[in-house]
Amino acid sequence: MLKNLLTTTALVAAVAVGAFSMPTVASADITIAVAGPMTGDLAAFGEQLRRGAEMAVKDINAAGGVNGEQLKLEIGDDQCDPKQARQVANDLVQKEVAFVAGHFCSGSSIPASEVYAEEGILQMTPASTNPDFTEGPAKKGVKTVFRTCGRDDAQGVFAGPWLAKTYAGKKVAILDDKSAYGQGLANETEKNAKASGLEPAMRDTYTAKEKDFSALISKMKDAGIEAVYIGGYHNDVALMVRQAREQGFNADFISADALNTAEFWSISGPAGEGVRYSDGASAVNLDSAKAVVEKFRAESYEPEGYTLNSYAAIQAWAAAANIAKSLEGEAVAEALRGNTIPTVIGDLSWNDTGDLTKVNYAWYVWHDGKGVQEPLN
């Protein structure tokens, strides 16, 4: 589907017929896309991806574009629904996109990746952390799937031992929302906590978008649970924490990267004070991000969560496409794996599966409406 984009060189040489020659036809813009939950319960994350992508395209175009051509951005809304994600992917294929930054939810990125892989379109998610997103395609020989975030198993290695050390001798519950993201994260954290000597007192699930967690909270309260680790999204965790405090259940709550949005606090209110989550160390204060962060803030937007990851995904693809002098997915993928690419979130390199070779994790604690990063060890 990329052939129309790739045949933009001189179409017809100046064929001499007397004094006449045919002028070179200007090439079309290169179409790329960002995809995620632009509407629905997780739209806050869709905004992060969209904002990062729009700023990246603007900056890349101002610097001369990709291989001398300007970028045009399409936006796909999958609402974090697997079926809708596949439809979005098919729509983007029809629009002949050269690259997709997305999707957000692992449960959407994975089925969408099958569509892109069939067409040779390179996909790089700023946010999907389930290992199967990259491991699955790699086992099939697909080389065009990447991410600019970490993986659940890596977060589990970070969080599990911490839980075991911090709550040694105490009762810990581990919950998940049954999603590809939440379940994968909880399973990896549980595995690593057990390996470090902590046996959870409770392992349970809940249904995403549930509005009443009173039964689950009562169950944990009756069991004497002192800390709750949750694999799930910010809206559910925030509501659960708020209802827990209302019911007098004062256990510690711990989760992961999906809490990295101001919307968590808008739902939890003061009940969210002290809630802890793991995520990649913030790039906001890096020298590589300074100029871009200032641009966002000039627009009265704080580049939280995955905003800079999204910017970096497009930035890395553009750099690799320029190195490869091609838009072909496999050629760009080879350039990504063969080079260290400077981005707003630091210098990035990828392994054979399309995963980052290094991710630094940190703890964040919600305090007075902000997720505050703790010092790195």
Question: What's the CATH number where 72 sits?
Answer: 3.40.50.2300
- The residue behind tokens 């020298």 is 287
Q: Is residue 375 part of a domain?
A: no
pTM of the model: 0.89
Q: Is residue 374 part of a domain?
A: no
Q: Write down which residue in 274, 293, 322 finishes a domain.
A: 274
CA atoms within 13 A on the CB side of 225: 29
Q: Is residue 372 part of a domain?
A: no
Distance CA 171, CA 316 (A): 44
Together in a domain, 34 and 111: yes
Total structural domains within the chain: 2
- The residue behind tokens 């692992």 is 106
Distance CA 188, CA 158 (A): 10
Closest CA to 180 of 140, 230, 229, 232: 232
pLDDT at 376: 83
pLDDT at 27: 53
Cβ neighbours of residue 289 closer than 8 Å, sequence gap 6 or more: 283, 308, 344, 345
Distance CA 279, CA 262 (A): 15
Together in a domain, 98 and 232: no
Closest CA to 329 of 130, 93, 111: 93
Q: Is residue 376 part of a domain?
A: no
pLDDT at 9: 33
Residue segments in the chain with a per-residue pLDDT below the cut of 70: 1-28
Peptide bond into 367 cis (omega under 30): no
Question: In a 3-state reduction of DSSP, which class is residue 341?
Answer: strand
Q: Is residue 357 part of a domain?
A: no
Distance CA 286, CA 371 (A): 18
pLDDT at 59: 98
Together in a domain, 158 and 206: yes
Q: Is residue 355 part of a domain?
A: no
Closest CA to 230 of 211, 250, 202: 202
Inter-residue contact 237 to 181 (CB < 8 Å): no
Distance CA 341, CA 321 (A): 11
Together in a domain, 15 and 138: yes
pLDDT at 23: 34
Residue range(s) defining the domain that contains residue 319: 3-149+285-348
Inter-residue contact 105 to 37 (CB < 8 Å): yes
Could you report the per-residue pLDDT of 57-99, keeping only the tens digit for each?
Answer: 999 999 999 999 999 999 999 999 999 999 999 999 999 999 9
Together in a domain, 245 and 291: no
Distance CA 299, CA 313 (A): 21
